[in-house]
Structure formats: C-alpha cells, structure tokens
Amino acid sequence: MTSIWDTREKIIEESKKYNKLKDFQKQSGGAFSAARKLGMLNELTWLSKENRLPKGYWKNKKNIMAEAKKYKTKEEFQKGNLTAFLAAHKYGYMEDMTWLVKRKQHKWGYWTYENIKQEAIKYDTKTQFFKGNQTAYRAALKLGIIDDFFGLNDYVQ
C-alpha cells in the first residue's frame, strides 16, 4: 500500500494550506511526517518556524525549570509539555521541582464501605461512577458491594 504523500509535489501542495509549521504538523500529520522523512521541511519556507525551539533547548535545566513553573501538578506538567516533562525525568530535575505536587492518593485500606458509599452517591449510574472514580469503583467491585449502590440492571458500557 502506498501513501497518499508519495510525491514531493503532493506534500508541497498540502503544506501550502498552512502558515505555521506547527499547524501543518497538527492538521496534516501524514504529510508532515513524509516531509520530515524526505528531509524537505527546510524547503517549505512559507511555513513560519516561530514556534520552533533551538536544538538542545530541553537539555538546559533553566529552560526545563521555567516551563515546569507554569504547572501546579506533575500530571499538568506532563499533559502540558510532554517533551519538557520527559527531559526533566531524564536529567533528574523532578526532585528539584518541589512546587509540583502529585495527585492526592488515598492510603491502602481507605476504600471502606462508608467511603465507597460517600463517593458512589455522587453518581447516577455505574458507568458514571466508573468514569468519575475508577479506584473507588474497582474497590466496590473487589468487595462485592457495587450493587448496594446501583441497580442490578445498571452496567458499565
């Protein structure tokens, strides 16, 4: 099977729909990948590269720390800028980011009948419960008490 981006002409034609390299990458990933593989990204001069960072940018601790300060939790940092997050891990900078807190986790044994009940009443169906708090849902299943809070015919889709 051949790609629809099998010629330089098709890639160029597609890329001219965009003003920024980042938009080309997001909106037409296949064409962008083909252009990169063919080494032709520099030829696409009409695509602004203003969002590009210099090579090695995420090797610099100051850059990583400045990016991390935009977030409150490790999860937000990971979602917001995966490249910087992975670099922080790779170079061992995560411990220096004391302002980043990990999402609250309950201690083992927290999910008792009463605590599960308090959580379950927030939801109308098992499906909503599952989507809203998978940990509590799984604890209820494991304890065999899920049907205490929801009807027998209610199920997770």
Q: Do 62 and 46 belong together in one domain?
A: no
Examine the domain organization and report whether 137 and 155 are in the same domain: yes
Residues 120 and 81 in one domain: no
Pair (5, 39) in one structural domain: yes
Structurally, the chain folds into a number of domains equal to 3
Residues 64 and 24 in one domain: no
Same domain? 5 vs 46: yes
* Same domain assignment for residues 65 and 47: no
Domain of 20 in residue numbering reads as 1-52
Q: Please give, one letter per residue, the 3-state secondary structure of 83-136.
A: HHHHHHHHCCCHHHCCCCECCCCCCCCCCCHHHHHHHHCCCCCHHHHHHHCHHH
Each residue's pLDDT expressed in tens, for the chain with a length of 157 residues: 567 888 899 999 998 998 888 888 888 989 999 998 988 888 888 887 666 678 888 999 999 999 999 988 888 888 888 888 999 989 999 888 888 876 566 677 788 899 999 989 898 888 888 888 888 888 888 888 888 888 655 555 4
